[in-house]
Amino acid sequence: MKREREKKSITINKQQQKKIKRVLKYKIKKLKLQKLIEKKEIEVLFRSQMHFIIQNIEKTALLSEYINLLITEMKPETADQKMQDFEVQIDLTKKKQ
């Protein structure tokens, strides 16, 4: 009788250990997946911010160039044409990249 109880107890313990192992494996996989998702979200956010920063730099460069042209007392029409040429250069550079 006592041996049977011990055998049952051992069997139950083994089953519990298997369950615990399965649960732990599941939780580890879940944590790894969460970390991967967070990493991807950070990468996407970083790319978005970089794109926004680059756009601001381009706008600043265009404004700076336009102001420089106006400061040199260039005719507004000529300054506009030069700015259009400058914008075309920027667009071509973007396409090459």
Confidence grade of residue 2 (pLDDT, cut at 50, 70, 90): low
> Is 26's pLDDT higher than 80?
yes
Query: Distance between CA 8 and CA 19 in Å, rounded?
Result: 16
Query: Distance between CA 40 and CA 93 in Å, rounded?
Result: 28
Query: Distance between CA 90 and CA 84 in Å, rounded?
Result: 10
pTM over 0.75? The answer is no
Confidence grade of residue 42 (pLDDT, cut at 50, 70, 90): very high
Residues 6+ apart with CB under 8 A from 69: 78, 79, 82, 83
Q: Please give the helix or strand (H or E) that residue 58 lies within, else none.
A: helix 2-71
Question: pLDDT tens digits, residue range 44-94?
Answer: 999 999 989 988 998 898 888 878 877 887 777 787 787 788 888 877 777
